Structure 1
Amino acid sequence: MKIIHTSDWHIGRTLHGASLEEAHQAFFEALVDYVRAEEVDAVLMSGDLFDRAVPSITSLRQARVALTRLTDLARVIITTGNHDSADRLGLTDRFLNDRLVVRALPDDIDRPIDLVAEGRVHARVYTLPYLDPETTRRVLVDATGDIADPDDPDAVHQLARSHEAVIAAAARRIGAHLDAHPLEDGARVIVMAHAFFTGGLPTESERCLEVGGVEQVSAGTLTRLGKADGPVRVDYVAAGHLHRPQDVRDAGAPVRYPGSPVAFSFSEAGYEKSVTLLDTDTPDLGIRHLPLTPWRALRRIATTMEQLRAGRHEDARDSWCEVTITDDARPHNLVHEVRSLLPHTLAVFHVPAHAPTPVTAADIRRHQRSPLTLAQEFARTVGNRELNAAERDVWRDVFEKVQADHANS
């Protein structure tokens, strides 16, 4: 049995205001061609089908056409990501046919999909949508959870406010299901998960997952499940969220981010986009990366106006460009002239060659402080004191409610 793993389609996204509809359409054509040529049985899409919780009509139509074509050829399994609205995307999941499966809710974690061919199970797929710690830590709580108030006999258990806690709880549910419903020899265990696993490298285009806790999760949390005396080894973690194609090292089993099929920031210029092909009939799953040709290449160019006028970068005329002009003095009519020479330029900067190193989006992300940290700094600056425990809890609850309301709006 052959399976394609893809993720982070982000249908409806733009790049510096430019529509990516045609770039997405080129990807869908390539994906359908691969499914047909490789005789693929199932397509796994690990979250962020859409770029917004409320997609535009154009985005919905494009998704409908793409999924119709894919389900004519293979079974399609979709989990939700942090950009999707789990409630909206999962509204009709119980009514969908067997060709299209959408898993959006934590209640479905221990309700796997068995991929069957020739009378036997070739792979069992467990689905982990994006698990927001605040909204799922009470849903997934088990005996390992903390007690809200140890002195209150009526207090309920709840998991810690972190991605590690909720994904570990999800892993325990999967392990319990595997213990109760063992697979026959030769069947593979695949876990789809939309999360930021430790060791993964982000780009400038992912939305931060951090809400009231550390966002990164050890990939090993999902690679060995079940009873302590005989844990089931997960054969493959089909990860989503990071847009750079990559494997997570030292995870105990293959953990793969196929990356977004379309580039969403100039930090992805030069990346080779791909989808990942698995073959359950080979010992190592025969993992192959099927390349995707970009509809329009991305170029980051640093140059002088003299070099640009002389045609030094003529080979970039058909590319989307981010251009940094390094002349000591800002050229007259800068943006207009750059775009007249490179017509698909989306961003223009002037950074003199002898100026201090500019602060990039990546620098901002690395030094970005959490809302709670900013609140604590505000209290020190304005009130000359530290927030107490009760005040920190109030701030944290407010921030999480605002983010939850924004995600569901």
Structure 2
Amino acid sequence: MRILHTSDWHIGRTFHGHATLDALRGVLETLVDRVRAGNIDVVIVAGDVFDSATPAAGCYTLLSDTLRALADTGAQVIVTSGNHDSAARLGFQAGLLRDGIHVLTDPHAVGTPITIDDADGPVHFYGIPYLEPALLRHEWPAARTQAGALAHAMGLVRADLATRGGRSVAIAHCFAAGVEPTPHLERDIQQGGLDVVPLSAFDGVDYMALGHIHGRQALAPTVRYAGAPLHYTFGEGDKPRGSWLVEMDATGVASVDWLELPVPRRLVTLRAPLDALLTDARYAAAEDAWVCVEYTDTLPQRDPLRRLQERFAFCAKVVHLPAVRREGDELTYVDRVRAAVTDRELVEAFLVHVREGEGASGREAELLAEVLDERTRVEALA
């Protein structure tokens, strides 16, 4: 049996304010082509199908079109809900879909698999949707954390599998021990170290298909994250996009290979003074890429995003990171204000703070002295 493990489609997510629906449609069309050409038997989507609990109409259209296209290849499709999804909305759609498409959103059904046969017999697929401990702990006493909820769910899986026998795949959406999340990208499922699910929780199945982390990761040979099909932040620009192709023989997992997906527009981070970025030919290759600029001028520059977009049409993020900082810049603004004795020192502390370490120029210091002296004279006459 040939199984394609995908996850975290995040249909409807934006990239720094830019819509991604068309780009994702193109990537998912390529995914369908790979399924057809590779004679894939089962496609797994391990949660976070949508980016929002209330997706727009176009998001539903893209999901329906993609699921139908995958089913048309002859593959079975198994989808679970993630923490970004509304399990109720995603589950409602399940009843409207054709045979061969399975949308699993009910935590009470985790011990009941979707069973698919091949020449070597049955393979049992256990879909574990995102588990919300607060909603389950009255029925599952151990479900006080994500780790506890997953442990209970996997216990149900192992109990059922002990009765049925045969090969097995489980699907879950969580933080697992050893993962490297992308900062500010994956929405926290819960806070605190107790919600990291240990690898031992996944014992007992032949393959564990995980979702939630947007970069591919192999925590063990048969415990893996596939990551997202698109880049959704510059922090993951160096991570490949694709899915895991899992081949099973009569005894379990025979091989796991990575299948690349196309990147509609590459991501580039440029770091240099603003004038160089606007004029230097060295940066011409980035003109058709998504660009994050870290400009290194000592002082903040006027309207940098607009100016950069005149050259880099897809410049989506601009950050001011001065290359040289004055000695003492480790002081906070509060520290500088507290250290100020005179009004001139107070204004200087403000300028150093807002200008990333650069205080008043010579002419500015002269004007400042004139203003403060005039204020002192007026106050003396009052």
Over aligned residue pairs, what C-alpha RMSD do you find? 1.8
Q: Mark the runs of 5 or more structure 2 residues left unpaired by the alignment.
A: 331-382
Aligned to 1:82: 83
Q: Note the 1:211-230 alignment, pairs <5 A.
A: 214-224=194-204
Of 204, 208, 222, which residue of structure 1 is paired with 2:188?
208
Whether 2:172 is the aligned partner of 1:193: answer yes
Shift of 1:304: 1.2
Matches within 5 A, 1:1-150: 1-73=1-73, 74-93=75-94, 96-118=97-119, 120-121=121-122, 123-139=123-139, 141=140
Query: What is the 5 A alignment of 1:369-380?
Result: none
Shift of 1:132: 1.1
* Equivalent position SS for 1:67: helix
Distance 1:254 1:279 in 2: 11
Letter in 2 for 1:334: P
Following superposition, the deviation at residue 90 of structure 1 comes to: 1.1
2:354 paired residue number: none
Q: Cα offset for 1:211?
A: 5.4
**Percent of paired sites with the same residue:** 34
In structure 1, distance between residues paired with 2:93 and 2:26: 28
Larger helix fraction of residues: 2
Report the secondary structure of 2:309's partner residue: helix
Aligned to 2:210: 239
Alignment of 1:349-368 (within 5 A): 349-355=319-325
Taking the aligned partners of 1:57 and 1:97, their CA distance within structure 2 comes to 20
Give aligned pairs, total.
Answer: 323
Query: What residue is the counterpart of 2:149 in the other structure?
Result: 166
- Contact residue 321 and residue 342 of structure 1 kept, 8 A: yes
1:324 Cα deviation from its structure 2 partner: 1.0
CA contact (8 A) 1:222 1:237 kept: yes
- Residue 333 (structure 1) aligned with residue 303 (structure 2): yes
In the alignment, structure 1 segments of 5+ residues that lack a partner are 142-157, 225-233, 358-409
- Residues 80 and 127 of structure 2 are in contact (CA less than 8 Å); yes or no, is this contact kept in structure 1? yes
Letter paired with 1:106: P
SS at match of 2:79: strand
Residues in 1 aligned to 2:152 and 2:308: alpha-carbon distance in whole angstroms: 53
Are the equivalent residues in 2 in contact too, given 1:274–1:289 (CA < 8 A)? yes
Q: Partner of 2:291: helix, strand, or coil?
A: strand
TM-score by length of 1: 0.75
2:379 aligned residue: none
TM-score normalised according to structure 2 size: 0.81
Q: Which whole-Å CA distance do the structure 2 matches of 1:110 and 1:89 have between them?
A: 20
CA contact (8 A) 2:293 2:319 kept: yes
- In 1, are the aligned partners of 2:207 and 2:253 still within 8 Å (CA)? no
Query: d(CA) in 1 for partners of 2:63 and 2:93?
Result: 15
Deviations 1:16-54 (A, max 9, x none): 100111220121121011101101111000000000011
**Equivalents in 2 of 1:182, 1:120: separation in Å?**
10
